[in-house]
Structure 1
Amino acid sequence: MHKKLVILSVIAVTISMLSCSNSKKTEIQMDEDATSKSYQGNPITHEFDEQIDALISQMTLEEKTGMLHGTSMFSTAGLERLGVPELKMADGPLGVREEISRDSWAPAGSDDDFATYYPAGGGLSATWNTELAYTFGFSVGEETRARDKDVLLSPAINIIRTPLGGRTYEYFTEDPFLNKKLTVPFVVGMQENDVAVCVKHYAANNQETNRDFVDVQIDERTLREIYLPAFKDAVVEAKAYSMMGAYNKFRAEYLCENSYMLNEVLRDEWGFEGIVISDWNAVHTSVKSLRSGLDIEMGTPKPFNEFYLADPLIDSVKVGKISEAEIDVHVKRILQLMHTVKRMGSEDRKTGSINTEAHFKDAYNIAKESVVLLKNSNDLLPINTSGINSIAVIGNNAMKKNALGGFGAGVKTKREVTPLEGLQNRLPESVTINYAEGYLERYAPKKKGAVGQVAEVGEVTQEQLTTIDELDPKMLEEAINAAKNSDMAVIFAGSNRDFETEASDRADLELPFGQVELIEEVLKVNPNTIVVMIGGAPFDLGTIKQKSSALVWSWFNGSEGGNALADVLLGNVNPSGKLPWTMPKKLEDSPAHATNSFPGDMSVSYDEGLLVGYRWFDTKNVEPLYPFGYGLSYSTFDIKNVQVEKEDYTKSETIYVTLDVENIGEYDGKEVVQLYVSKPNSEVERATQELKGFKKVLVEKGQTKTVTLELPVKELAYYHLEQKSWTIESGNYSLKIGNSSRDIKNELNINIK
């Protein structure tokens, strides 16, 4: 299922002083042990208060409200007579978006708005590497400044609740712990460049179907333990400067006018001093939205002066529905942000850089650690080029580019290496590549259905498309002949950013465009076939897993994605990616679908509660196709000598788990050690196990490396509904060490007093 739409966006700004660094590598050292490190930014200083108050006192009501809403597609009004510039924003989960027209989504036609295309969120999360999260943030932060932007609408960190999610490719993971441990260094890295992140989409924005109005119902404990941790740590630890309010409702109130979420939780509990910016066209009231905690309204569907925080807000002040002093509070927040990112004429503001080889290298480094080896039963991988003369490369995805496409923010880039180009770059000249496209990416016109239907956004009419899944006989024959006449074959299958897209959820887990049939036919004529899936969300790979000997998962992986993938296939890089979500055998096994609580209609109830992702599969004893945290290597690792310092801990202590990782294989490689925790006989409902620590470690062949995982006892807390606070239950806990949620190597017990 597919939708072609016009683009929506988001924006944000916020305020908090973070220590500014002149060095990418020395000022903040990212610890790969994502169990306990706290990346504290400096708290906001109010040294600009007097200057800001003086500015506000000179502004007219009209000038003030001009700062509270978009006056172009991606900026708010400046005030030249008082030296206040526009606040400039850009979309950016995959990199800094191209320039568009001030009053429409049409490209501006600039020749200086090329940018690095970075791996999508799925790729970053599959690295399980917090250092690379920092690298991504810092690198894209430099590009944001080079484009003279103040706010980048990134990162997108919503929990992956369903494998059908249209933005699963863009989000990080199904697990709140992994989510927050990637989010914090990303935010820190970006904001070191005198630019604000806009963390999105706050909150409970976990489906595209009916996203503009669906009322999400989540119990409080599930909200706190699953859907809020990454947002909280972005504020409390990383000092995020801005947050984006989501489209949907939460407990009957739109999230851009939800005082509980924006005032009570975000500001009062977490101490957020930044700015809340609406998603585009996500505002529905003037006075209520402002009083509920919104600061800036952005959107597209009508003249800018008709926005709720434009002329209607002025009218509300004039008739006494809201005071001008209340307007001043929000204007002051925006001006504080502008001072914080040195927008107000500072001479020492960072200038950034863009389209550099260093940034392409950053994209490559993320991509190469994201590739997940799912199966390698006959040692087809890595490809031994000394034993072959020809390779058949098959599949539309071998040449498909994903920097642009679909509905949502892409990147205008000068470099996107495709998988075919990557193999051409890396294979020796002695190896002949026989390419056949194999299948066509084709869609049929309108086909209405419940899943994937999205409400109208402004004046945009949204058309739902469905795929054409019959193979072209001639193209199938070409693919079979290429495979027959080659020593081995590599099929590049899966998805793309036209099929997986913002504003539309998929209808099912089926591979589109007849790809399963294509793969089966090629395997019949050449069993030496490697299947490489490129996508952002799970598919039904049961048949392919059964019939193929080698199966690899890659992502929408950025400017250097093709080179990184080729290096993994050829053994120049040992695969070290781990799945950031569970791949089910069938859709009905996933919790939101097992409980028939997706997608809802006017409202959706998260009936699976705490049991999201692997928590459901492990607790309900449902066998996944591939589990959370899964990923093979060309080498073999032995995890042994697991121990803790003692058996008893108080609630204020930190548990240090030490272990040895031995590489007993033939290749240097990286392993991700994962720590899961269980609480037997708990007084409250809990999942069978929960991720509470991980560390990615490089171990050379034949060597052993000692690893220490830090687990603060406070991470064992659950949210107590009656007390409205986090509570650590006393008693015995089981600590489980493994390399996926279903491959536990060692287990030991500790006691919390």
Structure 2
Amino acid sequence: MNILIPKLKILKITCSCVLFLSLLMAGVANAQHSLNNGNQEEKIRSLISQMTLQEKVSLLHANSKFYVSGIKRLGIPEWALSDGPHGVRAEINRDDWAYSGWTTDSATCFPPGTALAATWNPELAFKQGLVLGEEARSRKKDVLLGPGINIIRSPLCGRNFEYLSEDPLLISRMAVAYIKALQSKDVAVSVKHWLANNQETHRDSINVYMSERALREIYLPGFKAAVTEGGAYTVMAAYNKFRGDWCSENEYLDRQILRKEFGFKGVLMTDWAAAHTTVKAALSGLDLEMGTDKKDYNEWYFADPLIKAVEEGKVPLSVVDEKVANVLRVMFKTKMFDEGSREKGKMNTPEHRKAAYNSAVEAAVLLQNKGNLLPIDFSKIKSVAVIGDNATRKHCSGGLSSEIKALYEITPLQAIEQKFGTQVKINFAQGYEKQSTFKEGSNGGQANSDHVDWKLIQEAVKVARESEVVIIFGGLNHDFDTESFDRQNMDLPYGQEVLIQEVAKANPNTVVVMVAGSPVKLAGIVNRVPAILWSWYGGMEAGNAVADVLSGKVNPSGKLPFTIPVTLDQSPAHALGNYPGKDLKVNYEEDVLVGYRWFDTKKIQPQFPFGYGLSYTGFTLDSFSTDKKSYGQGDTIHAKFVIKNTGGRYGAEVVQLYASDPGSSVLRPEKELKAFQKVFLQPGETKIVEMQVKVRDLAFYDETKKSWKVEAGEFVMQLGNSSRNISKTVKISVR
């Protein structure tokens, strides 16, 4: 479904009047903004001048798991934080990790990060941000910890499901929409994890090294967009080290880049227990310490030790004042000093549930559909076999910091029974069962998950033979996709590959639905079954969404936000032996060739490429052109094309615009994503679509000059619907 942000109605008046009024309104708005900011900064200075050193420091560290002290005598409220990349987490006890047992903290659970990115629809990210902001305020939260925007570098990273993509542009567009919407509800986001948290293995000790070019072109853009375009109020420092220094006390990252280059004036906080020192962290730009593993909060690095460091002259008082100002600034921006005008919030409304459904249904990626087995016309069949543990497993409550106490969660089997159970005989078989065990910080439980249960397989084969169509729900669960450790391999666990092969022998009309947030090995099944649908962790509406896609009520429009390799050793970090590192050090030797940049440049055929996804209808792209053939360095390229829905169903195509620089003086990726647009079309409908790319966005980072560089010469603009399916190209020159 196409979710559109409401448009304002504009009166028809003369161009000169429009220009005058626009300038006048812009002037008034800018003046008002400056006045408000001036007043706000004056209030901040006044509050700081009235504080004792002890009071100042009390604002810079937690006083419980998710709260920071207020100063009652000055009217400064306690600060309430909550986990919540895709839903507001249930209430935790103040001083331990046990749940508080509330009956009023069930929340709307959205599909997590990779699923959101798979929609390629920033409007859905915006809607999700609005819902999360409303529910956070309803729960009296001031900061929501998310979004997670680290690059998906390895298929094995345990937090891939929380993150968005392997591509910085897709990350940026989705994150900015999410952040703007959420913060419009008077809640601060905390963009995480700053920086290079691309693996969970040794996450609290690994030392990451990468070139300056890789940093600038791949790993920084999402964070830069989040701060400079999205206006993120807080940023969360990662656990790992970067070039020898912890991210929470990294002068280059925290002072030079975040503060000076990005102009960040908000709060830089630690991830939980990611603080290591007092003086160095204070001087490097850290503002807020959270989650340190000491029972006495006064012993934390930014508590009594910080007071002592100031008294001994090791940390200037002005540095403490700067941190307090950053905290107060976020409080003012989220209207914490004006509760009367602050968003009151609401929980679990029909609109919230609809938003969760829309995200889940647009995320589904149709990977394979030989013989057009999908969609299934349930009115024309008498029986269907539903097989697999993921047909009945709920996932919202897994993943550690992503755990959501969902208001409800519809499983695929529930949805199929509710929608089609009166007209079709539904034969269920377990097929496989969860053999793994979960222990935080250890992936040892995964080692026992490859047992093939032939008894369950035989039961599945029996129901497959008795049914006209088979739907197998396989993939992963949050014993694999989770914070705190990485997967051991890309294999499907629990003997699923054997199950799928045996069932497909018994009934060729077999659809496989993959529930997972990270790439899995599909080489053993792609030639055994005609249809594969990737449905992710679908949140509370998971079952309804996947049932509606399978039945054709909704046409799938999702696209892969990452590359699915044939084998793990195709993936760049693993091909070069740079995962998980050696002696607690990892070198990103693949440099800027991450994800599809590696596969396309090295001419390696993946299982399924970045940006890929099929539809139940067809689309054509024609008349691709640019407004000029030659551009200056400060110009904008206006690319235009015609798209047509050539099939018989309403649907959406994600058109992707890539750029190549074949004459570059440095190694550049074979192509890089520069723009995309999700276009919804009725059967037979045609639209003219324009995309814009600034010439400066064709630049690479010149390490010798420490600046961005667009070399004069020829560039190729490439239009397609995946990184491997380019249908039109146009050559341009840059002067």
TM bucket (normalised to shorter chain) is over 0.9
**Higher deviation after alignment, 709-718 or 612-621:** 709-718
Distance (whole Å) between structure 2 residues aligned to residue 670 and residue 422 of structure 1: 24
Amino acid at match of 1:271: G
Q: Is the contact made by 1:94 and 1:118 (CA closer than 8 Å) also made in structure 2?
A: yes
- Structure 1 residues 142 and 438: alpha-carbon distance in aligned structure 2, compared to 1, 3 A threshold: same
Cα displacement string for residues 617-657 of structure 1 (whole angstroms, at most 9, x for unaligned residues): 00001010000000000111111111112201111111111
1:420 paired to 2:413: yes
Distance (whole Å) between structure 1 residues aligned to residue 340 and residue 645 of structure 2: 51
Among 487, 491, 497, which residue is 1:510 paired with?
491
Distance (whole Å) between structure 2 residues aligned to residue 641 and residue 606 of structure 1: 40
Q: Is the contact made by 2:365 and 2:533 (CA closer than 8 Å) also made in structure 1?
A: yes
Distance (whole Å) between structure 1 residues aligned to residue 9 and residue 83 of structure 2: 26
Among 375, 381, 386, which residue is 1:393 paired with?
386
Cross-structure match for 1:554: 535
1:409 paired to 2:392: no
Cross-structure match for 2:129: 137
Distance (whole Å) between structure 1 residues aligned to residue 8 and residue 331 of structure 2: 23
Distance (whole Å) between structure 1 residues aligned to residue 109 and residue 348 of structure 2: 9
Q: Secondary structure at the match of 2:339?
A: coil
Among 71, 77, 81, which residue is 2:73 paired with?
81
Cross-structure match for 2:159: 167
Offset at residue 300 of structure 1 (A)? 4.4
1:341 paired to 2:322: no
Distance (whole Å) between structure 2 residues aligned to residue 176 and residue 473 of structure 1: 44
Distance (whole Å) between structure 2 residues aligned to residue 463 and residue 301 of structure 1: 24
1:661 paired to 2:643: yes
Distance (whole Å) between structure 1 residues aligned to residue 679 and residue 416 of structure 2: 28
Q: Is the contact made by 1:425 and 1:563 (CA closer than 8 Å) also made in structure 2?
A: no
Distance (whole Å) between structure 2 residues aligned to residue 506 and residue 273 of structure 1: 37
1:150 paired to 2:132: no
Amino acid at match of 2:146: S
Cα displacement string for residues 165-187 of structure 1 (whole angstroms, at most 9, x for unaligned residues): 10111100000111111111111
Cross-structure match for 1:201: 193
TM-score normalised over the length of structure 1: 0.92
Cross-structure match for 1:93: 85
- Structure 1 residues 747 and 636: alpha-carbon distance in aligned structure 2, compared to 1, 3 A threshold: same
- Structure 1 residues 464 and 46: alpha-carbon distance in aligned structure 2, compared to 1, 3 A threshold: farther
- Structure 1 residues 294 and 416: alpha-carbon distance in aligned structure 2, compared to 1, 3 A threshold: same
Among 634, 647, 667, which residue is 1:685 paired with?
667
Q: Is the contact made by 1:144 and 1:152 (CA closer than 8 Å) also made in structure 2?
A: yes
Cα displacement string for residues 100-140 of structure 1 (whole angstroms, at most 9, x for unaligned residues): 00000010111111110011001100001111111111111
Q: Secondary structure at the match of 1:238?
A: coil
Distance (whole Å) between structure 2 residues aligned to residue 738 and residue 707 of structure 1: 13
Cα displacement string for residues 174-212 of structure 1 (whole angstroms, at most 9, x for unaligned residues): 001111111111111111001101000011111101010
1:646 paired to 2:628: yes
Amino acid at match of 2:401: G
Offset at residue 350 of structure 1 (A)? 0.7
Distance (whole Å) between structure 2 residues aligned to residue 650 and residue 565 of structure 1: 48
Cα displacement string for residues 323-358 of structure 1 (whole angstroms, at most 9, x for unaligned residues): 333211111111111111011133100111111111
**Higher deviation after alignment, 537-546 or 310-319:** 310-319
1:186 paired to 2:168: no
Q: Is the contact made by 1:73 and 1:300 (CA closer than 8 Å) also made in structure 2?
A: no
Distance (whole Å) between structure 1 residues aligned to residue 260 and residue 348 of structure 2: 41
- Note the 1:163-562 alignment, pairs <5 A: 163-303=155-295, 304-427=297-420, 429-443=422-436, 465-562=446-543
1:116 paired to 2:98: no
Distance (whole Å) between structure 1 residues aligned to residue 726 and residue 289 of structure 2: 48
Amino acid at match of 1:558: G
Distance (whole Å) between structure 2 residues aligned to residue 614 and residue 694 of structure 1: 16
Distance (whole Å) between structure 2 residues aligned to residue 144 and residue 25 of structure 1: 23
RMSD over equivalenced CA pairs, Å: 1.9
Q: Is the contact made by 2:274 and 2:292 (CA closer than 8 Å) also made in structure 1?
A: no
Distance (whole Å) between structure 1 residues aligned to residue 448 and residue 555 of structure 2: 35
- Structure 1 residues 654 and 550: alpha-carbon distance in aligned structure 2, compared to 1, 3 A threshold: same
Offset at residue 25 of structure 1 (A)? 3.5
Q: Secondary structure at the match of 2:482?
A: coil
Q: Is the contact made by 2:436 and 2:479 (CA closer than 8 Å) also made in structure 1?
A: no
Q: Secondary structure at the match of 1:101?
A: coil
1:584 paired to 2:565: yes
TM-score normalised over the length of structure 2: 0.94
Distance (whole Å) between structure 2 residues aligned to residue 27 and residue 144 of structure 1: 27
Amino acid at match of 2:356: A
Distance (whole Å) between structure 2 residues aligned to residue 707 and residue 443 of structure 1: 48
Q: Is the contact made by 1:453 and 1:464 (CA closer than 8 Å) also made in structure 2?
A: no
**Higher deviation after alignment, 664-673 or 472-481:** 472-481
Q: Secondary structure at the match of 1:600?
A: coil
Q: Secondary structure at the match of 2:164?
A: coil
- Structure 1 residues 76 and 27: alpha-carbon distance in aligned structure 2, compared to 1, 3 A threshold: farther
Q: Secondary structure at the match of 2:540?
A: coil
Q: Is the contact made by 2:5 and 2:123 (CA closer than 8 Å) also made in structure 1?
A: no
Cross-structure match for 2:723: 741
Amino acid at match of 1:693: A
Distance (whole Å) between structure 1 residues aligned to residue 74 and residue 728 of structure 2: 65
Q: Secondary structure at the match of 2:330?
A: helix
Distance (whole Å) between structure 2 residues aligned to residue 674 and residue 503 of structure 1: 34
- Note the 1:586-625 alignment, pairs <5 A: 586-601=567-582, 602-625=584-607
- Structure 1 residues 166 and 178: alpha-carbon distance in aligned structure 2, compared to 1, 3 A threshold: same
Q: Is the contact made by 1:577 and 1:631 (CA closer than 8 Å) also made in structure 2?
A: yes
Cα displacement string for residues 511-543 of structure 1 (whole angstroms, at most 9, x for unaligned residues): 001111111111111111111110001111012
- Structure 1 residues 433 and 491: alpha-carbon distance in aligned structure 2, compared to 1, 3 A threshold: same
Distance (whole Å) between structure 2 residues aligned to residue 235 and residue 470 of structure 1: 47
Cross-structure match for 1:572: 553
Q: Is the contact made by 2:124 and 2:359 (CA closer than 8 Å) also made in structure 1?
A: yes
Q: Secondary structure at the match of 1:501?
A: coil
Aligned residues: 709
Distance (whole Å) between structure 1 residues aligned to residue 322 and residue 629 of structure 2: 51
Q: Is the contact made by 1:167 and 1:502 (CA closer than 8 Å) also made in structure 2?
A: yes
Q: Is the contact made by 2:480 and 2:486 (CA closer than 8 Å) also made in structure 1?
A: no
Offset at residue 665 of structure 1 (A)? 1.3
Amino acid at match of 1:414: L
- After superposing on structure 2, the runs of 4+ consecutive aligned residues of structure 1 that deviate more than 6 Å are 40-44
Larger RCO (CA under 8 A, 6+ residues apart): 1
Structure 1, unaligned stretches of length 5 or more? 1-22, 30-39, 447-451, 455-461
Offset at residue 27 of structure 1 (A)? 7.5
Q: Is the contact made by 1:156 and 1:200 (CA closer than 8 Å) also made in structure 2?
A: yes
**Higher deviation after alignment, 402-411 or 640-649:** 402-411
Q: Secondary structure at the match of 1:224?
A: helix
Offset at residue 28 of structure 1 (A)? 13
Cross-structure match for 2:19: none
Structure 2, unaligned stretches of length 5 or more? 11-28
Distance (whole Å) between structure 1 residues aligned to residue 77 and residue 312 of structure 2: 30
Offset at residue 721 of structure 1 (A)? 1.6
Distance (whole Å) between structure 2 residues aligned to residue 407 and residue 356 of structure 1: 25
Cα displacement string for residues 486-508 of structure 1 (whole angstroms, at most 9, x for unaligned residues): 11110000011222111111111
Amino acid at match of 1:546: N
Distance (whole Å) between structure 1 residues aligned to residue 619 and residue 171 of structure 2: 25
Amino acid at match of 2:306: L
